[in-house]
Structure formats: structure tokens, C-alpha cells
């Protein structure tokens, strides 16, 4: 699996079930990177989308414990085991959050796209800090980009080969 996330300097990702930043260039990067790919997300992340609708033009897989929940245009699973039993190619699937889903699925990921926004932000949800995990290495970082009053870089982390 792959993971895609936008983080503040302290790896904050959200507050009050919303994103911390509105950055058109990052939204474009997210859209272009995940378009046509399977995306895996948690119930709270889904609820934060406009009208709580799955992302268009991508197979969506939603994690939720409520076995009665269904969602038009998405596959619903009730556990990580059920997710992993799906007959799909996970190597090209994207974990798109939020915090609970990132934490549980990071062990299955071998590549993370991390947009680093050069700001501290008042967050209540966080991504695991990959710079503190010895099994992950930063393999590329873009030049600094300015957008909508924010400074950001696009980073790629890879799981180290053992
Ligand atoms: N910065 C970014 O790139 C980014 C990206 C995505 C999201 N976010 C932010 O992240 C925040 C949301 O994160 P979150 O941690 O609160 O919620 P979340 O990870 O989106 O969803 C959590 C929910 O997923 C379900 N779930 C979790 N583990 C499960 C499992 N093993 N089996 C079945 N269902 C499972 C549960 O739903 P039920 O309780 O209904 O069972 C749980 O309450 C928001 O602020 C959002 O804006 C940021």
C-alpha cells in the first residue's frame, strides 16, 4: 500500500474533523496521485467530505465497525482483516486517512507521500512522525512551494529494504 498525507511541522493532520490547511496545489497533487486508484479511508474522514460522499473516479474502501452501514459508490469493510481479504491489488492502493487509519495501515505501506507544510498548527489528529522511525527514509523532497499563503514541500518516504 501507499499512503498520502499533508502534515504540519509537528505532523498534525486535522482538527475538529477537518483539515488544517486549504492548499490548492496540494489538493491537485492529491487528486492527480490518487485518480483511478483505490483509496482506503476511515468513517470520520468520509464524514468530513462534501455531503459525506466517496471520492469520485476512484474505488473507495471505507472502514467502519457498524455492520449495518452501507454507502453508495463505495466498498465497506468492518475490520482490517476484512480489508486485507479483499481480492484487490493493494500495492497500488492509497491509504488516505484519517489518523486511526494511518496508524493501523502504516505497517502495510512501503511508500508515503507527505506534503510538509511549514507551519505549526493547532491539531487534534496526527500522523506518525516518519522522521523518528528507523524503518522509513526520506528519499526525495521538492523545492519549497508557495500557495495560498503557505510554504510547503512534497516529500517521498520509502520503507527501508532489509
Ligand atoms: N492532513 C491529511 O492529509 C488528512 C487526511 C485525511 C484525514 N485527515 C483528518 O483526520 C481526521 C480524521 O481522523 P480520525 O482518526 O478522527 O478518523 P478516521 O481515521 O478517518 O476514522 C476513524 C473511524 O474509522 C473506523 N475504524 C477505525 N479503525 C477501524 C477498524 N480497524 N475496523 C473498522 N473500522 C475502523 C471507525 O469508525 P466507527 O467509529 O464508525 O466504527 C473509527 O471511528 C480529520 O480531522 C481529517 O480532516 C487529514
Compute, in angstroms, the gap from residue 79 CA to the centroid of ligand 1: 13
> Is the CB–ligand 1 distance for residue 79 below 6 Å?
yes
Please name each of the domains of the chain with its CATH number: 2-159 (3.40.430.10)
Residue position matching grid coordinates 483511478: 36
Q: For residue range 115-137, what is the model confidence (pLDDT) as tens digits?
A: 999 999 999 999 999 999 999 99
Find out whether 157 and 138 touch, Cβ atoms under 8 Å: yes
* Residue 42 in grid coordinates: 476511515
CA 114 / ligand 1 centre spacing (Å): 18
The x, y and z cell numbers of residue 45, run together, are 474522514
Q: How far apart are CA 137 and CA 157, in angstroms?
A: 5
Distance set, CA 33 to CA 3, 6, 13, 43, 122 (Å): 11, 13, 19, 22, 27
pLDDT tens digits, one per residue of 27-60: 999 999 999 999 999 999 999 999 999 999 999 9
> What distance in angstroms lies between residue 125's CA and the mean position of ligand 1's atoms?
9
Tell me, what's the pLDDT at 161?
85
Amino acid at each position: 500500500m501507499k499512503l498520502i498525507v499533508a502534515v504540519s511541522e509537528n505532523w498534525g493532520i486535522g482538527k475538529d474533523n477537518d483539515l488544517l490547511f486549504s492548499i490548492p496545489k496540494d489538493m491537485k497533487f492529491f487528486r492527480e496521485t490518487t485518480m483511478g486508484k483505490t483509496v482506503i479511508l476511515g468513517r470520520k474522514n468520509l464524514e468530513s467530505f462534501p455531503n459525506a460522499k466517496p471520492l469520485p473516479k476512484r474505488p473507495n474502501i471505507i472502514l467502519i465497525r457498524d455492520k449495518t452501514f452501507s454507502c453508495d459508490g463505495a466498498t465497506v469493510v468492518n475490520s482490517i482483516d476484512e480489508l486485507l481479504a479483499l481480492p484487490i491489488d493493494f500495492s497500488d492502493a492509497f491509504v488516505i486517512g484519517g489518523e486511526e487509519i494511518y496508524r493501523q495501515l502504516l505497517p502495510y505501506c512501503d511508500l508515503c507521500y507527505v506534503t510538509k507544510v511549514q507551519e505549526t498548527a493547532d491539531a487534534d489528529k496526527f500522523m506518525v512522525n516518519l522522521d523518528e522511525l528507523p524503518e522509513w527514509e526520506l528519499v526525495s523532497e521538492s523545492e519549497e512551494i508557495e500557495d495560498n499563503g503557505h510554504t510547503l514541500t512534497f516529500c517521498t518516504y520509502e520503507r527501508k529494504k532489509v
